[in-house]
Structure 1
């Protein structure tokens, strides 16, 4: 087992928030780490962690990076949220072709293990799921409301199908597994939390939506790191390859209302929590119209949508999953975390309410919100009448 800690791991997309945290955890165990990404690490990592600049869309670059590697963590993806979700061409290239490139390179150069970072979305498309498990079928591809989820499904299926493929360099086979994490959070997370804090600070976060009883899940970055390390270990002979060909849902194991989850962040930065609750159907319509507008003007002005349709579903519709399989087969035991460290991280960087807005300012924001809601509602009328 001690020798296993000196294995070499390649992390695709490894220079983002999660990739760096995974790299540092593996490095502490004595492993050799190669970060493969289009840009350097987003946070400080130990000096002997190797950075290789490259793109998973370019097979020759992937091929060079996997030489001498014992295990690949394939976490590179594109199109998870915001305006990225609307760039179908790049989503397809990174998530589907990029994954095919990684699988091919592993087979050609004798890499025996691959752990793929997937998503809840491979089975979820807006329908209520309560305590679902891995026996759930993939959501039919045409039912996905966004191309990211569709391509992640295609990629996960390809990864699991590749399990057992003979390696070109010897008698071994490629063993693969997939982890399906919930929304990631933690101090320093750079994809979702800054966007949420930006909405809070600009006064845009003035309403919530959906039922107060709707439940979703999140996963702290350290729990997700633990799950990946356990999954990689479970692909080895020492663990009887028990995770080979398998998929696992990964979360903190604590379903919670999406907006209540973020209440400590809102109030911790000194802002009032919204009291206005809108119907999810109205917000979904707003997201749909926003996407249509982006489709028209995006080539000239690539603005950030307030919400996409998928984000409305992911935040407002109940969907949470059992951890029984991950606990039984991987030994996964999520530790309890909260948003206290996240609040401290933002406050240490100058975020937080510094003064109360004037009555006139608040009145103006409320007036603009009402106008926006009325405009969205009215814009739907001609669509209904035209059918």
Structure 2
């Protein structure tokens, strides 16, 4: 039986990205019009009913023009989640805070009744251990966030939820908002975290694990996250009594797991041995701290990719997982079970799992030499500063 499509127009900021495009395809199954709003064009060919607007979320005029005639906005776009992006404080603040303010302003100006914001676990978590936390936990104080991304996402989420029930300027009605706080996203074709992990595996960098073996974190499959967003959009409608309005929800697969054990099927599925050396968390954190310090000194000249940032050490090595009770009860969210087999196959289909090339190995050596050289200079300089 063919699904009857509605005439609602959905707009997704960051729609050309991995999750945004997956969400757009799901929306097309029940809607006749989906707009992708992104600073970069999508890599995939657009299906019928999907359009792309290349624009910058930091520019209100561009945002205002794109949101005309839209019925619901999914605000997915952000910057600074991982790697060296985390070290660009100015751009992080412009995209995550100013961009969100632009979206909210345009929603009110164009009488758009629904906005779903894609937030993060990090608005609550900053390196402290959390077991089965829920939405009653307070925001982590802004000055305790170890990175700009988490701090700005927290500010943005608070701004979005505060904007709930904002009165429209040119018509009757109000804007209703909610926020979803996803765990780390995975799935075949994910382009931010998994390729970086696979590069480390293939370059031979993944030779150790760290933190306590009993530490637990969470992940969310892209299709579970899509389902949660669709449910949140429905929960902002009159038919659902606007039950999600002004609310935040944790979203994950609901299966806490040790970070490194989660990736074991990927490592072994690509034909590599899983490391049996375990290092203390404090040592890796100190290394990440030095790496960030070096990057701040030389990043303008040599913008190398840090192996890990301090925030990534916390996120991968410190226990933090959250209850899905609120999402289940209010949104009807029930995560499906997934594993990494489709991810392994996706990489194998693209030639991964083979012996690394000389050029790749040479680049690794160059990166390490530069980091070690500047680390030596830094360590020799530090005692002088102390006098």
TM over 0.5: yes
C-alpha separation between the residues in 1 aligned to 2:46 and 2:278?
43
User: Cα deviation per residue 1:332-386 (whole Å; 9 max; x = unaligned)?
Assistant: 00000000000000000000034999xxx9xxx9xx99xx8xx89x959977x95
Match of residue 105 from structure 1: 106
Q: Is the 8 A contact 1:9 1:31 kept in 2?
A: no
CA distance in 2, matches of 1:353, 1:131: 39
* Deviation at residue 4 of structure 1 after TM alignment: 7.9
Partner of 2:81: 80
Aligned to 1:251: 252
Aligned to 2:129: 128
**Matches for 1:318-329 after TM superposition, within 5 Å:** 318-329=319-330
Secondary structure of 2:143 counterpart = helix
**Residues 230-309 of structure 1 mapped to structure 2, 5 A cutoff:** 230-309=231-310
Aligned to 1:167: 168
Change (3 A) 1:101 1:322: same
Match of 1:69 in 2: 70
Please give the alpha-carbon distance, in whole angstroms, between the structure 1 residues aligned to 2:110 and 2:313.
42
User: TM-score, normalised on structure 2?
Assistant: 0.92
Distance 2:288 2:88 in 1: 16
CA gap of 1:277–1:4, structure 2 versus 1, over 3 A, is same
Secondary structure in structure 2 of the residue aligned to 1:224: helix
**More deviation in 347-356 or 334-343?**
347-356
Query: Is the contact made by 2:178 and 2:232 (CA closer than 8 Å) also made in structure 1?
Result: yes
Q: Deviations over 1:156-180 (max 9, x none)?
A: 0000000000011211100000000
Residues of 2 paired with 1:220 and 1:29: CA distance?
21
TM-score by length of 1: 0.92
Q: Secondary structure at the residue paired with 1:7?
A: strand
**Cα offsets for 1:44-87 (capped at 9, x unmatched):** 43133010010110000000111000000000000000000000
Helix, strand or coil for the counterpart of 1:337? coil
In 2, distance between residues paired with 1:6 and 1:315?
Answer: 42
| Partner Cα separation in structure 1 for residue 40 and residue 295 of structure 2 | 27
Q: Give the ranges of 4+ consecutive aligned residues of structure 1 lying more than 6 Å apart after TM superposition.
A: 380-383
Q: Aligned pair count?
A: 373
- Cα gap change, 1:180/1:53 in structure 2, threshold over 3 Å: closer, same or farther? same
1:211 Cα shift?
0.3
What's the counterpart of residue 15 of structure 1? 16
**Structure 2: how far apart are the matches of 1:216 and 1:307?**
17
Report whether the alignment pairs 1:58 with 2:56: no
What's the Cα RMSD here?
2.4
Please state if 1:24 is matched with 2:25: yes
Paired residue for 2:315?
Answer: 314
Query: In structure 1, how many angstroms separate the alpha carbons of the residues matched to 2:92 and 2:335?
Result: 30
Deviations along 1:245-292, one digit per CA (max 9) or x if unpaired, are 000000000000000000000000000001111100000000000000
Tell me what 1:228 maps to: 229
CA distance in 1, matches of 2:269, 2:381: 40
Runs (5+) with no aligned partner, structure 2: none
Gapped runs of 5+ residues in structure 1? none
Note if contact 2:178-2:244 (Cα within 8 Å) is conserved in structure 1. yes
